[in-house]
């Protein structure tokens, strides 16, 4: 169930049986020559919707711009400062807490968001712990990367081996191809598997990884593989969500 497609009365009814909500979060950034700029947000969104349908959970609107300063050397990439993203997350959670939500399951599609999400959770918890009110209901936040489960890891290894890499990966590109088959891109990748390494700011990233990829060969992506990865992720995350929200 998508929150934005419900009425306020339907949300009140939902809260009678569940206090949990899934919040997809991704990024708007380059994903190499054949990856969509919205890849991280698309993966988080479509998998979150699949999980929501599987377990009857409410899914919030996708947070589509994340912490991606290191991609600003490539046209179309957008970023929020960590402090800005923390403020956005605090306000979103605070808004939902006011209505009675208590469990916030952030389904993440972008590695660059991880540190900021952790900091945001600390700010949210600190604000509540320092509040003068002693009778506030307990809330919990959870970060789950869609690829961070054994099922997806094993399938990506089977499909791509060492060509998976760490950015503009064939697995994430495949999920977008499954979700948007009319927007599949093709490009000559030279070398087929991109170099590996670390980086600092946007200029350093562009120098080291001139086509945007890190250690990956996204030309291996197919919509069929994307369907398999999507189904594996939904099944694994649905189980994780159900056990966590009930705790």
Cα separations (Å) of 169 from 3, 11, 98, 117, 243?
A: 30, 37, 39, 22, 29
- Rg of the chain taking only CA atoms, in angstroms: 19
pLDDT at 138: 87
Q: For 166-194, give one letter per residue: b (16+ CB within 10 A) or e.
A: ebbbbbbbbbbbbbeeeebeeeebeeebb
Q: Which of 217, 241, 225, 124 lies closest to 163, judged by CA?
A: 217
- Cβ atoms of 65 and 7 closer than 8 Å: no
Place of tokens 């694994």: 236
pLDDT at 179: 98
Q: How far apart are CA 76 and CA 63, in angstroms?
A: 17
Positive or negative, the Cα torsion across 150, 35, 67, 98? negative
Place of tokens 């002693």: 134
pLDDT at 134: 65
Name the CATH superfamily for 3-245: Creatininase (3.40.50.10310)
pLDDT at 137: 76
pLDDT at 89: 98
- Cβ atoms of 240 and 60 closer than 8 Å: no
Place of tokens 């950015």: 167
Q: What is the block-wise mean pLDDT of the chain (247 residues), using blocks of 10 residues? A: 97 98 98 98 98 98 98 98 98 97 98 98 94 78 97 98 97 98 97 96 97 98 98 98 94
Three-state DSSP at 110 gives coil
pLDDT at 4: 98
- Cβ atoms of 39 and 174 closer than 8 Å: no
Eight-state DSSP code of residue 219: G
DSSP 108-154: E--GGGHHHHHHHHHHHHHHHHTSS-S-PPP-EEEEEETT-SHHHHH
| Residues ≥6 apart with Cβ < 8 Å to 5 | none
Helix 114-129, helix 82-99: angle, nearest 10: 50
pLDDT at 148: 95
């Amino acid at each position: 169930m998508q929150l934005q497609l419900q009425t306020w009365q339907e949300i009140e009814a939902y809260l009678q049986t569940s206090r949990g909500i899934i919040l997809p979060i991704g990024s708007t950034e380059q994903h190499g020559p054949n990856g969509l700029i919205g890849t991280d947000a698309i993966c988080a969104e479509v998998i979150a919707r699949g999980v929501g349908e599987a377990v009857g959970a409410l899914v919030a609107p996708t947070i589509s711009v994340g912490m991606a300063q290191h991609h600003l050397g490539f046209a179309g990439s957008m970023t929020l400062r960590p402090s800005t993203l923390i403020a956005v997350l605090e306000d979103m959670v605070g808004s939902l807490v006011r209505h009675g939500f208590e469990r916030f399951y952030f389904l993440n599609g972008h590695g660059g968001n991880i540190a900021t999400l952790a900091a945001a959770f600390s700010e949210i918890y600190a604000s509540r712990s320092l509040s003068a009110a002693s009778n506030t209901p307990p809330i919990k936040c959870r970060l789950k990367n869609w690829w961070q489960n054994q099922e997806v890891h094993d399938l990506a290894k089977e499909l791509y081996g060492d060509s998976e890499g760490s950015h503009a990966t064939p697995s994430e590109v495949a999920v977008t191809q499954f979700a948007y088959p009319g927007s599949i891109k093709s490009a000559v990748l030279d070398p087929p598997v991109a170099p590996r390494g670390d980086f600092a700011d946007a200029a350093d990233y562009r120098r080291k990884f001139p086509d945007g990829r890190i250690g990956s060969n996204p030309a291996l992506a197919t919509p069929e593989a994307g369907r398999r990865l999507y189904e594996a992720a939904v099944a694994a995350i649905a189980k994780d969500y159900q056990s966590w929200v009930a705790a």
